[in-house]
Amino acid sequence: MSATRFASRAAFLAALLFALMFASFGLPSTPAFTEVKAVLGVLAHAALLPVVAALAAPAWARVGGYAWATGDIILNVAALNAGAAPGDATFALLMALRYGLHVCAMVWLVEVAWQNGGAFGLATAVMGLALGGFSFIAPFVPAWALYPVMVLVVAWLALAGRALGKGEVAQGREADGGQPLSPS
């Protein structure tokens, strides 16, 4: 299987895992459900790694995508091990750090949008600006204001999976002047 096809499947898997993770936010904050939420968060963000590798962006921007994915993996494991629950100080700190990672994701997503243009580029720019932009308004809005961004994450990942699968996006290292990851 080519790296691009693998990334396409990873994007669809990430969309499913993020949808399940977001749905799990409605579950009670019991130890068992907290573990489920953390594991879904780890898996969803791990599935992003091939997507970051497959979408064309300069190396300096791709770092933002990798920081988002790996940083949120670390924060999900930290939340699990610290027993963080919504409303406590540890959870608040972890969310503040997570929002910083979303700004890193925005840098990567805006550059991916720039490299691609068209409908996919526009959708990617909207996704990046919504995800990263929320980080700057989070202290001033209710937590539920993040819900539209959650929907965008899932929809964008499905769109990215489709675009990668059909070879409709700039891929791999082309933005660095290197070779694509693999032929489509």
Count of domains in the chain?
Answer: 1
* Residue at 65 is within a domain: yes
* Residue at 180 is within a domain: no
Each residue's pLDDT tens digit, 141-176: 998 899 999 999 999 999 999 999 998 887 775 445
* Residue at 175 is within a domain: no
* Residue at 184 is within a domain: no
Mean pLDDT of the chain: 91
- The identity of residue 81, as a single letter, is N
Higher pLDDT, 83 or 98: 98
Report whether 141 contacts 161 (CB < 8 A): no
* Residue at 154 is within a domain: yes
Confidence (pTM): 0.89
Report whether 11 contacts 52 (CB < 8 A): no
Whether the per-residue pLDDT at 1 is higher than 80: the answer is no
* Residue at 99 is within a domain: yes
Higher pLDDT, 86 or 112: 112
Each residue's pLDDT tens digit, 23-45: 998 888 788 888 999 999 999 99
**Domain housing 154:** 3-167
